């Protein structure tokens, strides 16, 4: 119904004459079609696009200043986290920006809906023909070769010059994130299944279990008592944890805590939960989070595959928590993508959202990636490939080591320097020491002025996990996590 009504509305505008034209300026563009994608052809003029418009935030510099003020140990305001309203204030647009953008939309017969309570994102639905006209764009169908998945994107778009200080970006336009492929876990069946009595080990069984990590990193086993602090494990791609797998895992590897310890599930933007169809990544992340953070309430956030937000779900997840009055103390994510797939404006917007979550006291953790210097996945490359969101300085990027304490970098673990975000001052001494040590090795292949990552690394290889319900027999699997 909505669609029909809309087509009529835009037709009638054509009859009444073209809206006031404004002078346009290119706002974001790409020189070439990103690797892996091919141009299939123009998008049908009648296809309705759901576009998101980000308005310029009123005080992004103030946001970052405030973030450092509340998270820096030596600051007088350390730990004085902001309320939802206080942190939203920085991200929210000015009244002037809202008016300017909405007036321009109204000139074109477009109505917008505000997404969430912060007010910096609007959504509009317009046909391709109108989007091409008002953004001087060329919305086309691009196919991701290896999966055949199609998406409608443009290599360039413009906005009225008069809106430059008000309209931050239009999305999805020049962001090309490939669909995630099945995680290539390397699972090895152990010759013998340890009996619960034979565990826990302290890393001397040749595999990693909670006892091994507790002893490696002096992780306390005393239960947490503050029930309002909870921890979110974000899951994507219809990967779900299994409560029965977790129960078995605890029976084997945390005999000192109740095997009924479990997690809550929240479903974000079409995310689902089917405990009878567990995925290795979701099982692993949940079992080790609960197996190590003793008695910390854990919530698994299932972000839908159908939630096609153009960023692999990160935008929807960030919008969910930024618009929420209750939020976790920690959010951990074992997924990521490559920085160059995301437009720098979208990356910047997301990074500021993580900063705003930080001002509320949320520690945001992301895995650094699994492709070494080739980015999120092992691939051939010329220049080193940066991962996202690890290049954002306002979160903690976590890499992997192997061979136990103190360990060496795991060969697959991603690290490098952002091309979008410059080096934050908190990294100056560590990065300068590192660059001096590196000398001319690899010079020209990476951007030495960028934010370096990962921030911390820990054992990320040879984890044991139990997935009874997937294979209908008790077996222990050892593998190298794809994205630790
Ligand atoms: C290197 O990083 C800086 C940000 O630190 C950025 O401004 C610059 O464009 C980057 N260079 C390239 C070639 O991407």
pLDDT tens for residues 146-170? Answer: 999 999 999 999 999 999 999 999 9
pLDDT of amino acid 132:
98
pLDDT of amino acid 422:
98
Most confident among 14-23, 114-123, 189-198, 467-476 (mean pLDDT): 114-123
Q: Is the pLDDT of residue 307 over 60?
A: no
208 pLDDT tier (thresholds 50, 70, 90): confident
Q: Residue 14's CB: how many other CB atoms inside 10 A?
A: 11
Q: What is the pLDDT of residues 283-295, one digit of tens each?
A: 889 999 999 999 9
pLDDT of amino acid 184:
53
- For ligand 1, the distance from its centroid to the CA atom of residue 421, given in whole angstroms, is 7
Q: Is the pLDDT of residue 476 over 60?
A: no
Q: Range with the lowest mean pLDDT among 126-130, 241-245, 439-443?
A: 241-245
Domain positions in the chain are: 14-57+92-171, 187-483
d(CA 471, CA 122): 45
Residue that has been written with the tokens 């939309």 in this structure: 105
Q: Which residue, among 252, 328, 268, 339, has the nearest Cα to 304 in the 3D structure?
A: 268
pLDDT of amino acid 471:
37
Q: Is the pLDDT of residue 185 over 60?
A: no
pLDDT of amino acid 279:
82
Ligand 1 pocket mutation pick from 450, 451, 452, 453 by most atoms within 8 angstroms of CB: 450
- For ligand 1, the distance from its centroid to the CA atom of residue 386, given in whole angstroms, is 12
* Average pLDDT of span 54-74: 98
pLDDT of amino acid 299:
98
447 lines ligand 1 (CB under 6 A): yes
Q: Ligand 1, closest atom to CA 417? A: 2
* Average pLDDT of span 75-99: 97
- For ligand 1, the distance from its centroid to the CA atom of residue 417, given in whole angstroms, is 9
348 lines ligand 1 (CB under 6 A): no
Residue nearest to atom 1 of ligand 1 (CA): 419
Q: Percent of the chain, pLDDT > 90?
A: 71
- For ligand 1, the distance from its centroid to the CA atom of residue 339, given in whole angstroms, is 12
Residues in the chain: 484
pLDDT of amino acid 12:
39
Residue nearest to atom 9 of ligand 1 (CA): 419
Q: Is the pLDDT of residue 206 over 80?
A: no
- For ligand 1, the distance from its centroid to the CA atom of residue 451, given in whole angstroms, is 10
Q: What is the pLDDT of residues 220-233, one digit of tens each?
A: 999 999 989 999 99
450 lines ligand 1 (CB under 6 A): yes
pLDDT of amino acid 402:
86
Q: Ligand 1, closest atom to CA 450? A: 5
Residue nearest to atom 10 of ligand 1 (CA): 419
Average confidence score pLDDT of the chain: 88
Ligand 1 pocket mutation pick from 420, 435, 444, 445 by most atoms within 8 angstroms of CB: 420
- For ligand 1, the distance from its centroid to the CA atom of residue 133, given in whole angstroms, is 32
Q: Is the pLDDT of residue 191 over 60?
A: no
- For ligand 1, the distance from its centroid to the CA atom of residue 361, given in whole angstroms, is 29
CATH of domain 187-483: 3.40.50.200
Q: Is the pLDDT of residue 415 over 80?
A: yes
* Average pLDDT of span 317-329: 93
pLDDT of amino acid 271:
87
459 lines ligand 1 (CB under 6 A): no
Residue nearest to atom 12 of ligand 1 (CA): 419
């Amino acid at each position: 119904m909505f669609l029909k009504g809309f087509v009529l509305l835009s037709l009638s505008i054509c009859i009444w004459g073209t809206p006031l034209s404004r002078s346009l300026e290119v706002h974001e563009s790409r020189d070439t079609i990103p690797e892996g994608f091919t141009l299939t052809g123009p998008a049908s003029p009648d296809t309705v696009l759901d576009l998101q418009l980000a308005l310029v935030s009123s005080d992004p510099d103030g946001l970052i200043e405030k973030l450092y003020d509340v998270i820096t140990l030596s600051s007088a305001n350390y730990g004085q986290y902001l309320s939802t309203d206080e942190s939203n204030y920085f991200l929210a647009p000015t009244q002037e920006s809202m008016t300017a953008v909405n007036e321009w939309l109204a000139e074109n017969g477009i109505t917008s809906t505000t997404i969430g309570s912060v007010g910096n994102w609007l959504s509009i639905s317009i046909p391709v023909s109108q989007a091409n006209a008002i953004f001087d764009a060329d919305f086309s169908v691009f196919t991701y070769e290896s999966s055949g998945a199609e998406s409608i994107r443009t290599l360039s778009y413009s906005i009225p010059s008069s809106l430059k200080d008000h309209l931050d970006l239009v999305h999805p336009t020049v962001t090309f994130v490939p669909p995630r492929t099945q995680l290539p876990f390397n699972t090895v069946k152990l010759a013998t299944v340890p009996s619960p009595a034979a565990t826990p080990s302290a890393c001397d069984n040749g595999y990693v279990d909670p006892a091994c990590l507790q002893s490696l990193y002096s992780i306390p086993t005393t239960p947490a008592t503050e029930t309002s602090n909870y921890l979110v494990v974000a899951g994507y791609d219809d990967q779900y944890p299994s409560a029965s797998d977790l129960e078995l895992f605890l029976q084997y590897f945390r005999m000192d805590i109740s095997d009924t310890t479990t997690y809550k599930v929240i479903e974000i933007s079409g995310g689902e939960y089917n405990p009878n169809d567990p995925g290795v990544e979701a099982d692993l992340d949940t079992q080790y989070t609960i197996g190590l953070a003793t008695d910390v309430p854990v919530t698994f956030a299932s972000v839908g595959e159908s939630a096609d937000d153009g960023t692999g779900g990160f935008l929807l997840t960030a919008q969910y928590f930024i618009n929420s009055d209750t939020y976790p103390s920690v959010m951990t994510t074992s997924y990521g993508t490559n920085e160059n797939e995301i437009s720098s404006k979208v990356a910047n917007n997301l990074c500021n959202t993580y900063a705003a979550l930080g001002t509320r006291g949320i520690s945001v953790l992301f895995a650094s990636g699994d492709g070494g210097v080739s980015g999120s996945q092992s691939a051939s490359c010329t220049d080193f490939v940066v991962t996202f969101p690890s290049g954002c300085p306002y979160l903690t990027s976590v890499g992997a080591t192997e061979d136990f304490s103190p360990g060496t970098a795991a060969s697959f673990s991603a690290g490098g320097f952002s091309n979008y975000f410059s080096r934050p001052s908190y990294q100056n001494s560590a990065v300068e020491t590192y660059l001096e040590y590196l000398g001319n090795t690899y010079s020209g292949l990476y951007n030495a002025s960028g934010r370096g990552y990962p921030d911390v690394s820990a054992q990320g290889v040879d984890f044991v996990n139990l997935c009874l319900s997937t294979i209908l027999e008790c077996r222990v699997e050892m593998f190298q996590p794809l994205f630790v």
